[in-house]
Amino acid sequence: MIMKKINRREFIKKSIITATTVVTGMSTGFSCTKKKKLPGAKGKRVIVIGFDGMDPGLCENLMAEGRLPNLMKLRKQGGYRILGTSNPPQSPVAWANFINGAGPGSHGIFDFIHRDPERQVAPFFAAAETVAGQGYLEFGDHKIQLDFWPFNHKPSKTILKRQGVPFWDYLDQAGIESTFYNLPSNYPPSPSKYGNHQCLAGMGTPDLLGTYGTFQHFAENGPMKTKSTGGGMESRIIFNEDTSEPLMLEGPNNTLLNEPKPTLIEFLVHRDKKAQAAVIEIENQTLVLKKGGWSKWVNLDYTLSAPAVMPDKQIKGTCRFYLQEVSPNFRLYVTPINTNPRDPAIQLTEPPEFSKKMSEKLGLFYTTGFQEDHKALSKEVFTEDEYIEQADYVLLERVNLLNYALENYDDGLLFFYFSSTDLQAHMLWWDSEAEHPTRSRTEAKKYFSHLKKIYSHMDKIVGDLLKSHGENSHIIVMSDHGFSNFKRQFNLNSWLRDNGYIGPSDTTSILSDADWTATRAYGLGMNGLYLNLRKRERYGIVDPGQEREKLLEELTAKLEAVRDIDGREVIRKVHRADKIYSGQALQYAPDLIVGYSRDFRASWETCLGGITDKVIYDNNSAWSADHCMDASEVPGVLFSNRPLAEPDPSLEDLAPSILKEFGLKIPATMTGKNIFNEDHS
């Protein structure tokens, strides 16, 4: 229903005067000081802090400068090592190694993206799969599913693809409590059989649209018809006497329709150019924003219209509005539509009621896996400073959540994850005098300095934790990988085409126009190379015997010999999957893992099978740093307030070491080892 017109200027002025709260910015005074003391110890305490992407080189430089005093203290006590990462060093793979205490052959995640050999590629997200429902009854334009006899329809569901046994299952069985906050590679969260495990899912958790984060942007110079830009939707806003024409905030698809369509929530914007402010009316809520101001979290109720025989279904979401500009070009950013943790439409936590319990204390908060909106920066909807402000708010929320976690922690295992050291690094890292893809040398140094401040904030969080829990808890600080500049792209499929491994010679994508009768190898994902093997791939032509062996050796030698125009090594090492992986979950393993040298990474086009004219070319994205190189180039860090006995620990060692800390045996399925001195376990 279209809202009634009002006296716009009077309405705006009245709203601005009477509003009790206007969110104009976000605090960056991070702290994790506990608000109450721990009760008496009931048992063993282990606290693991995961700083995604924290880099050993940058840590060591900042420790030498005295900017990480708390981490330096742990180092002096013998509690610091460089931590070996996964191969390949991609976050879903790395965190799954941590979870299983074993490599990809145990959990079956080899990349962000896998291919289906039976459908000749058909890429899909490696860590989770949504399975379509089966069966329904038609009612006009609608369809309904009935899960009881005699219908027994099956609704769609999302399945966690990670295989093997997560190490917390052994704690759960032993009656030892564990709680994980924002854990990657665990959506939907795996169940707790004995009721001693809680988890808030992290990376991989979708927004309400089913994507991994789709912002919505409204501007006077936006496209007349809503345009999807890969990570965002951009629309034009039209004003009549400073009140907008009705705008639509897109929500989830109405899957109750025979032909699903997006649900929409209408809202209006009233602007006051003189006051540089605006009022937003949405679902009986009035938001007052000044230029540069952020709204609070806003409740959203999307309606899935049902057949007349049934009540409509309500899907609850939440978002925040950011008023970037009032004039001359009005611009309004809306965060991805997050699932409301008070009444989630998807399972955010194990047990399901855990998210509601958190929200009772914390209110609304980000629930998507990727929370820092790097896509808004890449698409030039955000400036760098706007991205930093939004990302710092994410960190502020995360610290509030850590306070909650510590207040509700008595004993057992507590794991807490921070994304700031990863997603801000992707956009702000630049430790080189070389030209940055999108910034001047001065700007590159400025924003890298901000990232260094983030490391200092993390150090303070560790210091607060050591003060409040260091005496009676084993505190472990770790990262899944490090970081490197990403200056040059390598299109693996273009190289394969140019060297006669993909046909025909004018192929533009392995997904659309490759001739599989003339294709012996192809790339997909960040690091994977696959042979077009007979009896494995649908249209395979490579014999799995001697021809396979010869081709693997040939590709390895040629790829490791590739040089850039200045003579630099592009690929540090090519790894054979059959030499580095073992286990029962090898179905989607690539044949070769391409480990790039620092500064180089697979091109954006390569990841989904695209082929470009050039093989090696500049990366011109604001996403100017990465870690999907060779594992030897980007190890992580490990700090502990207990001595470390192992000189070369890896991610796989953490799970068995934690189990030993609680007096449990290391399962035979784990390939990792205990890395702590036995007298402290």
592: in domain: yes
Res 147: pLDDT:
84
Q: Are strands 528-531 and 616-618 parallel, antiparallel or unpaired?
A: unpaired
Q: Which of 313, 345, 377 is the last residue of a domain?
A: 345
Q: How far apart are CA 304 and CA 144, in angstroms?
A: 12
pLDDT classification of 230: cutoffs 50, 70, 90: confident
pLDDT at 255 over 70: yes
- Percent of the chain residues topping a pLDDT of 70: 93
Cβ density class 574-598: b for 16+ within 10 Å, e for less: bbebeeebebebeebbbbbbbbbbb
Q: Is residue 615 part of a domain?
A: yes
Average pLDDT, rounded, for the chain:
92
- pLDDT at position 153: 85
pTM of the model: 0.93
pLDDT tens digits for 288-329? Answer: 999 999 999 999 999 999 888 788 899 999 999 999 999 999
Residue 39 has a pLDDT of 37
**Per-residue confidence (pLDDT) for residue 277, from 0 to 100:** 98
Q: Does residue 635 carry a pLDDT above 80? A: yes
* Structural domain contains residue 164: no
In a domain, 259, yes or no: yes
Distance CA 533, CA 548 (A): 8
Residue 225 has pLDDT above 80, yes or no: yes
Residue 376 within any structural domain of the chain = no
Average pLDDT rounded to a whole number, residues 609-621: 97
Decide which of 592, 625, 658 is a domain's last residue.
625
- For residue 440, being part of any structural domain is answered with no
Tell me the residue range of the domain where 234 lies: 207-345
- pLDDT surpassing 80 at residue 680: no
- pLDDT confidence band for 1 (50 / 70 / 90): very low
* Residue 545 placed within a domain: yes
482-514 pLDDT, tens per residue?
Answer: 999 999 999 999 999 999 999 999 999 999 999
In this model, does residue 32 exceed pLDDT 80? no
143 DSSP assignment? E
The DSSP symbol for 379 reads T
Name the percent of the chain lying above pLDDT 90. 86
Give the pLDDT band (50/70/90) at residue 42.
low
Task: Report the DSSP beta bridge partners of residue 475.
Answer: 47
Domain termination site, one of 345, 366, 399: 345
Region 647-664 average pLDDT: 97
**What per-residue confidence (pLDDT) applies to 8?**
45
Residue 661 lies in a domain: no
Overall number of domains in the chain: 2
pLDDT reading at 661 higher than 70: yes
The vertex-8 CA angle with 6 and 12, nearest 5°, equals 120
Question: At what angle are helices 654-661 and 91-100 packed, to 10 degrees?
Answer: 30
- Map 424-451 to HEC letters: HHHHHCCCCCCCCCCCCHHHHHHHHHHH
Residue 667 is encoded by which pair of tokens? Answer: 């399962």
